[in-house]
Amino acid sequence: MRLAAWKLALILAPVLAAALIVKFRRGNFMHGIRFNILYRLGEKRSAFLRRFTVWSRVALLFLLALSLLRPQLVNAVRSFDTEGISIMLLFDVSGSMEAQDFTPNRFQAARSVLRSFISDRKNDRIGLVVFAGEAYTACPLTVDYEVLTDFLDKVSMGRLTDGTAIGDALGVAIGHLRKSRTKSRVAILLTDGENNAGSVRPELAAEWAGEDGIRIYTIGVGSEKGGTIPVMDQFGRVVGSAVTKLDEELLEKIASITGARYFRATDKQKLSQIYQQIDQLEKTHVQARLFYNYNELFPWLLWAALACWIAVFYYEDLQLRIP
């Protein structure tokens, strides 16, 4: 490895300095200084000079030996390369989400769990698609989780045509994920019903996702017994009740086509655990790189050794001239 110019200068400087001192040691200038100091020190300082010379020799040998070991200061710098994931959350807000087999109901429980899931992610781009009989983008992919949470809190039921358009919701989510440049792209579909609205078949949407490398995790919401929802007339009066249905076969097929998994949530606690599982399955990729900076110390040790050598050379000669 070639030495830098400044390092070479530091190494050669002590040699040049020593040569100059030897050349001019008997000159009138050095001779005058030497006798001037001799005159001021006197006999009482000869003992100090002897001790000083001995310790200078010891320091000289120590510094030379240490410089041969070529000591270095090492500064380790760690850098992290973080690659986030693009996640689209699909939230079913159809009338069946009012069923009270969850506390207080499916809709409120699901929104609470989604809020926690968003707050637990780091460095990921997350978006929200809301659907019932039709689907729309409540929030595009973003890393501003506070804004996303505000949009989630504003989601309410009854604003969309009732029904469950799973295929349309998947189509909207896939459209956003296709534009994402992250290597990992995921959709998480939460629903408690069966596809009974919209213009896109869920299986076809799953095939689109599979071709683009997008995984679709599906979550079926509802207790084993199912949930009942009130049936109202045009005047808002309750005229009966209906039992919600969950098409688990369809949800399993969607997840299977895209290489993901299907989960069944029978209560809020189970739903929270499912999102935690998905969180573990789809982790943000963090790669750590360690860099080392080396600072050479031997040039400074050579300079110190030169100072000790000059001290030994000068004061040893001075000691001989003290009467």
pLDDT given for residue 29 in this prediction: 45
Contact 265, 280 (CB under 8 A): no
Contacts of 29 (CB under 8 A, 6+ apart): none
Which residue, among 60, 56, 58, has the nearest Cα to 315 in the 3D structure? 56
Cβ burial, residue 94 (10 Å; 0-12/13-18/19+) = buried
Amino acid at 40: R
Kind of pairing between the strands at 72-83 and 285-296: antiparallel
Give the number of other Cβ atoms within 10 Å of residue 310's Cβ. 16
- How far apart CA 60 and CA 41 sit, in angstroms, is 24
Report the interhelical angle of 202-211 vs 166-179 (nearest 10°): 20
Share of the chain above pLDDT 90, in %: 44
Q: Tell me which residue has tokens 């637990």.
A: 120
pLDDT given for residue 183 in this prediction: 85
Per the structure block, which two tokens stand in for 212?
Answer: 């683009």
- How far apart CA 29 and CA 151 sit, in angstroms, is 87
Predicted confidence (pLDDT) at residue 164 exceeds the cutoff of 60: yes
Of the candidate ranges 73-77, 87-91, 145-149, the one whose mean pLDDT is the lowest: 73-77
Task: Tell me the per-residue pLDDT of 41-61, one tens digit each, with 9 for 90 and over.
Answer: 454 455 665 666 666 666 666
Give the number of other Cβ atoms within 10 Å of residue 313's Cβ. 16
What is the pLDDT of the chain when averaged over all its residues? 78
Residue 172 falls in which region: left (phi positive, over 0), alpha (psi -120 to 50) or beta: alpha
User: How many Å is the Cα radius of gyration of the chain?
Assistant: 40
Residues 108, 114, 118, CA angle at the centre, nearest 5°?
Answer: 145
Predicted confidence (pLDDT) at residue 189 exceeds the cutoff of 60: yes
User: Span 216-226, mean pLDDT?
Assistant: 83
Predicted confidence (pLDDT) at residue 134 exceeds the cutoff of 80: yes
- How far apart CA 199 and CA 166 sit, in angstroms, is 10
In this structure, whether the domain defined by 81-287 belongs to CATH 3.40.50.410 is answered with: yes
Predicted confidence (pLDDT) at residue 258 exceeds the cutoff of 70: yes
Task: Tell me the per-residue pLDDT of 95-113, one tens digit each, with 9 for 90 and over.
Answer: 889 888 888 999 999 999 9
User: Span 144-173, mean pLDDT?
Assistant: 94
Task: Tell me the per-residue pLDDT of 261-313, one tens digit each, with 9 for 90 and over.
Answer: 999 999 999 999 999 999 888 876 645 455 556 677 667 767 777 777 776 66
pLDDT given for residue 182 in this prediction: 86
Contact 321, 34 (CB under 8 A): yes
Please report which residue ranges of the chain form alpha helices under DSSP H: 5-24, 28-41, 46-68, 106-120, 145-154, 166-179, 202-211, 248-257, 268-281, 298-321
pLDDT given for residue 48 in this prediction: 60
pTM of the model: 0.64
Q: How confident is the model at residue 128 (pLDDT cuts 50, 70, 90)?
A: very high
Task: Return the domain boundaries, the chain.
Answer: 5-71+297-321, 81-287
- How far apart CA 9 and CA 283 sit, in angstroms, is 53
Q: What is the DSSP string of 30-47?
A: HHHHHHHHHHHH-GGGHH
